[in-house]
Structure 1
């Protein structure tokens, strides 16, 4: 039998077994059904089929599940830069330029939508592309302003100025407006203080504000006393409780605290019961009218008693506002404030409320107001938060991580606690709560400061390479701390990496960074491989400096060299020392000659150690005339001392062979 015939027979046998098995299963199922139909009893070997209930899931549930399996990637840039790797910013200037460029495009899109709104009436994209809410007011016609429908549309679109104009037109036309529309208008005017809020996207907010906004902003009364909100309220024949509460919250929000509390007292005298949001606003307003911590605490206790008497349940915001008020206390009253905060936190737990990150932020501001305070409050906070998925409920939540790291570095100086905070930040999606670029930079600057103070250099560089430059660009102070740590721990092998990064961050023109970095390169002669890298770094830097100076000279602007931070004498001296350590005397002579040519324009003092090394090198080369030519001129202030040094070294090294014949200007000349 051929192989093809055997293969065909094998297929037929397999198919036959499959058919017999299917018939057997089918006949067994039929017999079980007949038995159930005849007896009404189920066979013990028959299992019930339970159909699970349908679980409602969001459209992005699968994507969310997949995203939960992915951790933060420190070694790649943030996703906002991933589309164009060539434009990934590596310094603070580039980051801001990137954000500004993106904002410019968004503003251009907003202008186009405002200028030609009819072009966006038809949306042919399927599925339809949703237009952001802040653009909806720019597209499509609105109803007439002198109608209630037109007023309602403008209120829904949060057009504050146009809404008030529409209200005035309706009043002039004698139109009767419903109470609901008038109350909504008053709410809008009180929330925005009767002026249009600038519609900003997230990137625009990062540019316009350097820090997260919140209750810690400067306290200043900006309420419009005779503004549209007051006018609408006065037009009401019999102001309702809702209208009064809206006006109280508006006045308190913009720090017109006296009039807010006055209206609140009027409501109490009339027997009206404000809602809990009104009490939340009054807690802030009332505390700003009192200065001492003890009196603030008594006023807050009184308000909490009123809340309880009205049958209202305090919210997290109620307690947070109470915590905020204690941050306004003076340094002298800080102890009393801290004692009251402890009892207030216990009351918060008794009400079944969980503190938010903003709560802990306020507590840290109160407890650690004095830089000498070493309280263990932050340790207890971390015990409570570790291993939790955190969420943001208030703008001040974003202040927590940066403030905690600052207090660890300034107050506690606890490296282990700093690691705990960093682990909490990088737990799942908690890193999204670090805040904007300003708060992120503040966090990492202090994190690296405490690392450079207490940690070994290998661990420091491990954290450095993980976060720089994609997530963090170190400040001048952070770089200075890092250089000190490199010198203290003798981390000379990391200098090429740091040197390259300084040029990427455009710090090469900062004297406070480049001078100590050059000094560290020249401090000690390294092994041949590492010393060769040092020499290449110095040679590249010298080419840049020489190009800058030559460019100024060609333009006739050489007089500006002393005002433009290109290089100083100390850096040139240290670079020359690196070349001598690398056994490259030719480049060392070139660097020194460059200094001689432009010494009147270059600031700083040439290092004495490099001077001695140059003298030794020239004597070794038996080029004593070159030594005298180079060193006889640049040190006019200390000429006698310099010549004495040269004479002594020359006489000692060369004896009568060089000394008497070639030294024309001895120490006593």
Structure 2
């Protein structure tokens, strides 16, 4: 069965939302149930793979048996090249093909020392490898999980010059005689890729002076960094136009990379109205010559029109009407930014649930989910979707979606769990933007703004479910979450004894955690008066006076350790219960 047949069969089967990802062991006790657990599990497997590769490399003599026919090179230790190694140009070609940058540098230097002649075509391939990776080894392709969890962090790194001046790449470039257009373009693209823009521009002027033609990709790389070459908006755009005119004079056909480079440049021009004009004009001109935008093109349009402090723009609505139902393939690295940005705008810019559903439908069309990017973007995407649906959809619709996606597709961060709790007890007005992956919190109004959402939605039975999820997702050390879920259960007294007992069990679970938590742990659930007071109320409602008495004794004996005081209603209910039970001792303590 080939890959196309496998893809065809896979397309006939929908996503199983009840099953965890296949990379986890098929064992309920081993399947991670929190974000940190998923990351730790996946990277631990990757670490084990790295350890095995290290042992194989360090003890290579023990792994020389070759039973497979034909041999599988990935199973064997990598050759180690030193001064005693017998290397040829074919050796250099092989390590270049294997994308082993450090080995390629070593082999090339050995060939230079031995006076071996390296062909210009091999030097060109070597130069392109050095320029693309800046002389550093690439992350191996088989380390899938590290790529998945690493790319989000790297994408957020500040763009800065990382090019290695006077490094091996420039040495190889100078060794190519006569200098060719391909060599110049490779070096120019390497410099712009790693933000050595001043020297890249000098190289461009040198090529013009010598009459050396550029490729479309070289022009694209220059257009992308024009914001670093000119300060004013008009000066930047004038330079972009000059480069496009130069391409036309040279007879080069612009492509989607040219379009995206121009739009990316425009998206950095701030709140100017002219930037929007430039963007639309560019898009129209490229459509005339048959260049179809990629998702990155639409991402740059969103950045141009939907500024945080600018006026509200509905351009996303127009974009979605144009690309609805289409299946995309990766054409630009920034293609992976479209979906997360679109969902962020649905929530924070337009507050439009219908548009959010359209974006989500597009994400699940064809193989578009491959363009979600990485773990960070996926988490931000679902965070915004959940937050928007929580504040706009009927509670039953939101919980249906919640039950479908959690926990195998998405595990809500504490901020989203709080939003779910807010919707359950009826708090309104969602504010703030989450910026941290784990500690993102959405704002909320004061407790006076409580609605009758419980009465309207009949959602009291969701409190035990939310607590169960908090335990599974390792959110039980979040003081504000614990305080809020207790307060919600206290405010909404259930009509049935069964639900009252469940509320009391949740309260006692919280008490048990307070009493048994590891005191050396960095993040702990603080023991506060409001928490203990709510635990007392819920225990008393369930008729469990002995447990409520234990809580009161803690309040009495450890007053200096308990932060704050319990609510008056908690002490009053306890006193009334003491009077009913004729318990004078505890009554005196409560007073």
Common topology (TM > 0.5): yes
Residue 415 of structure 1: how far off its partner (Å):
1.3
Q: Is residue 255 from structure 1 mapped to residue 215 from structure 2 by the alignment?
A: no
User: 2-side partners of 1:145 and 1:400: how far apart?
Assistant: 49
Measured at CA, do residues 297 and 141 of structure 1 come closer, stay the same or move farther in structure 2, by a change above 3 Å?
A: closer
User: 1-side partners of 2:90 and 2:286: how far apart?
Assistant: 44
Find the partner of 1:592 among 541, 552, 560. Answer: 552
Measured at CA, do residues 376 and 131 of structure 1 come closer, stay the same or move farther in structure 2, by a change above 3 Å?
A: farther
The aligned residue for residue 47 of structure 2 is: 104
The aligned residue for residue 524 of structure 1 is: 492
Measured at CA, do residues 517 and 131 of structure 1 come closer, stay the same or move farther in structure 2, by a change above 3 Å?
A: farther
The aligned residue for residue 656 of structure 1 is: none
The aligned residue for residue 87 of structure 1 is: 30
The aligned residue for residue 484 of structure 1 is: 422
Q: Is residue 268 from structure 1 mapped to residue 208 from structure 2 by the alignment?
A: yes
User: 2-side partners of 1:180 and 1:570: how far apart?
Assistant: 75
Residue 155 of structure 1: how far off its partner (Å):
2.6
User: 1-side partners of 2:278 and 2:587: how far apart?
Assistant: 75
Aligned residues: CA RMSD: 2.6
Measured at CA, do residues 543 and 563 of structure 1 come closer, stay the same or move farther in structure 2, by a change above 3 Å?
A: closer
Residue 485 of structure 1: how far off its partner (Å):
0.4
Q: Is residue 505 from structure 1 mapped to residue 473 from structure 2 by the alignment?
A: yes
Q: Which region of structure 1 is more displaced relative to structure 2, 594-603 or 406-415? A: 594-603
When normalised by structure 2's length, the TM-score is 0.88
Cα contact 1:327–1:362 (8 A) shared by 2: yes
Cα contact 2:571–2:590 (8 A) shared by 1: no
Residue 249 of structure 1: how far off its partner (Å):
1.0
Give the match's secondary structure for 2:29. helix
Per-residue Cα deviation, 1:151-196 (whole angstroms, up to 9, x for no partner)? 3333333333343343334334333322112222222221222233
The aligned residue for residue 578 of structure 2 is: 618
Per-residue Cα deviation, 1:264-288 (whole angstroms, up to 9, x for no partner)? 1222222222111111111123332
Cα contact 2:81–2:106 (8 A) shared by 1: no
Per-residue Cα deviation, 1:211-267 (whole angstroms, up to 9, x for no partner)? 473xx7522112122111112222334211111111111111111111111211222
Residue 432 of structure 1: how far off its partner (Å):
3.0
Per-residue Cα deviation, 1:368-414 (whole angstroms, up to 9, x for no partner)? 12245321110011112211222223332222111111111111111
Measured at CA, do residues 626 and 148 of structure 1 come closer, stay the same or move farther in structure 2, by a change above 3 Å?
A: closer
Measured at CA, do residues 428 and 232 of structure 1 come closer, stay the same or move farther in structure 2, by a change above 3 Å?
A: closer
User: 2-side partners of 1:369 and 1:625: how far apart?
Assistant: 64
Give every structure 1 segment of 4 or more consecutive aligned residues whose post-TM-superposition deviation is greater than 4 Å.
118-123, 128-132, 139-146, 560-564
Residue 625 of structure 1: how far off its partner (Å):
5.0
Find the partner of 2:386 among 439, 448, 457. Answer: 448
Q: Is residue 66 from structure 1 mapped to residue 9 from structure 2 by the alignment?
A: yes
User: 2-side partners of 1:89 and 1:460: how far apart?
Assistant: 24
The aligned residue for residue 375 of structure 2 is: 437
Measured at CA, do residues 332 and 602 of structure 1 come closer, stay the same or move farther in structure 2, by a change above 3 Å?
A: same
Find the partner of 2:246 among 306, 320, 324. Answer: 306
Residue 122 of structure 1: how far off its partner (Å):
4.5
- Give 1:234-245 correspondences, 5 Å limit: 234-245=174-185
Cα contact 1:562–1:601 (8 A) shared by 2: no
Give the match's secondary structure for 1:366. helix
Measured at CA, do residues 563 and 197 of structure 1 come closer, stay the same or move farther in structure 2, by a change above 3 Å?
A: closer
Cα contact 2:389–2:398 (8 A) shared by 1: yes
Give the match's secondary structure for 1:399. helix
Cα contact 2:514–2:525 (8 A) shared by 1: no
User: 1-side partners of 2:261 and 2:314: how far apart?
Assistant: 24
Cα contact 2:267–2:303 (8 A) shared by 1: yes
The aligned residue for residue 147 of structure 2 is: 205
Residue 120 of structure 1: how far off its partner (Å):
4.9
Residue 562 of structure 1: how far off its partner (Å):
12
Measured at CA, do residues 421 and 212 of structure 1 come closer, stay the same or move farther in structure 2, by a change above 3 Å?
A: farther
User: 1-side partners of 2:152 and 2:314: how far apart?
Assistant: 30
The aligned residue for residue 358 of structure 1 is: 296
Residue 604 of structure 1: how far off its partner (Å):
2.8
Measured at CA, do residues 61 and 250 of structure 1 come closer, stay the same or move farther in structure 2, by a change above 3 Å?
A: closer
- Give 1:642-661 correspondences, 5 Å limit: none
Give the match's secondary structure for 1:419. helix
Find the partner of 2:283 among 322, 342, 345. Answer: 345
The aligned residue for residue 581 of structure 1 is: 541
The aligned residue for residue 257 of structure 2 is: 317
User: 1-side partners of 2:212 and 2:464: how far apart?
Assistant: 72
Measured at CA, do residues 183 and 136 of structure 1 come closer, stay the same or move farther in structure 2, by a change above 3 Å?
A: farther
Give the match's secondary structure for 1:80. coil
Find the partner of 1:174 among 101, 108, 115. Answer: 115
- Give 1:13-412 correspondences, 5 Å limit: 59-81=2-24, 83-117=26-60, 120-125=63-68, 130-132=72-74, 138=78, 144=85, 147-199=88-140, 201-211=143-153, 213=155, 218-329=158-269, 331-333=270-272, 335-412=273-350
Q: Which region of structure 1 is more displaced relative to structure 2, 524-533 or 582-591? A: 582-591
Per-residue Cα deviation, 1:448-469 (whole angstroms, up to 9, x for no partner)? 1111221221111111111111
Per-residue Cα deviation, 1:552-611 (whole angstroms, up to 9, x for no partner)? 7xxxxxxx8999435322111111111222233333223222332333212232112212
When normalised by structure 1's length, the TM-score is 0.78
Measured at CA, do residues 176 and 425 of structure 1 come closer, stay the same or move farther in structure 2, by a change above 3 Å?
A: closer
Max Rg structure: 1
Give the match's secondary structure for 1:369. coil
Residue 513 of structure 1: how far off its partner (Å):
0.6
User: 1-side partners of 2:46 and 2:254: how far apart?
Assistant: 41
Residue 539 of structure 1: how far off its partner (Å):
2.8
The aligned residue for residue 401 of structure 2 is: 463
Aligned length: 558
User: 2-side partners of 1:427 and 1:238: how far apart?
Assistant: 50
Cα contact 1:361–1:399 (8 A) shared by 2: yes
Residue 445 of structure 1: how far off its partner (Å):
1.1
Cα contact 2:460–2:492 (8 A) shared by 1: no
User: 2-side partners of 1:129 and 1:400: how far apart?
Assistant: 42
Residue 123 of structure 1: how far off its partner (Å):
4.2
Cα contact 1:294–1:337 (8 A) shared by 2: no
User: 2-side partners of 1:106 and 1:426: how far apart?
Assistant: 32
The aligned residue for residue 438 of structure 2 is: none
User: 1-side partners of 2:408 and 2:167: how far apart?
Assistant: 47
User: 1-side partners of 2:193 and 2:200: how far apart?
Assistant: 9
